[in-house]
Structure 1
Amino acid sequence: LEALTPLIEPLHDMRVFLNVNPSEEYDFLLEADLDSLSDVKAYADHPAHMEVVRKLIAPFKVARACVDYEV
């Protein structure tokens, strides 16, 4: 996932963190830095991102939660 940063124009940075709390449902957090919600859509629909989702995420995904915020 972090390797997508140079491939996707609106994506400034991406970091993946593993959840160290075994009592929680989710295994990792993905933090992506973009300028706007429209950039989130461009990132999500980008072919490189879609390929990673299809090959590396979808076969293992049981649940997903998403939070979009501005700082």
Structure 2
Amino acid sequence: MIADIPVPKHDVRVGAPINPATTRGYDIMLSMKFETIDDFKAYLAHPNHMKLLKRYGPPLLRDMISYQIDGTAPKSKL
């Protein structure tokens, strides 16, 4: 269904944690990169995204965290 949302997405990843003991009970992760903030907003509002949330979101998933990061910040020199 994600592929049916006509918004540029890159590096889409889904997977389980390597060490579940460090995830505070979370057992799956979904990560996507978008070209622009507007692409991200279009993805969030798309009807197919709403269908995904209805199908796979609460109450099917007991608990969920969603957050965004700004990948345009300069890279760390660590």
Query: So what's the TM-score if we normalise by structure 1?
Result: 0.73
The 5-angstrom pairing of residues 27-66 of structure 1 reads: 27-59=27-59, 60-66=61-67
The amino acid across from 2:2 in the alignment is L
Q: Secondary structure at the match of 1:53?
A: helix
C-alpha displacement at 1:65, in angstroms? Answer: 3.8
Structure 2 gap segments, 5+ residues each: 73-78
Aligned length: 68
| Aligned sequence identity (%) | 25
C-alpha displacement at 1:45, in angstroms? Answer: 1.1
Which residue of the partner structure matches residue 9 of structure 1? 6
Separation in structure 1 between the aligned mates of residue 2 and residue 66 of structure 2, nearest angstrom = 20
Query: So what's the TM-score if we normalise by structure 2?
Result: 0.68
Of Structure 1 and Structure 2, the greater helix share is in: 1
- State the superposition RMSD in angstroms: 1.9
Separation in structure 1 between the aligned mates of residue 62 and residue 39 of structure 2, nearest angstrom = 24
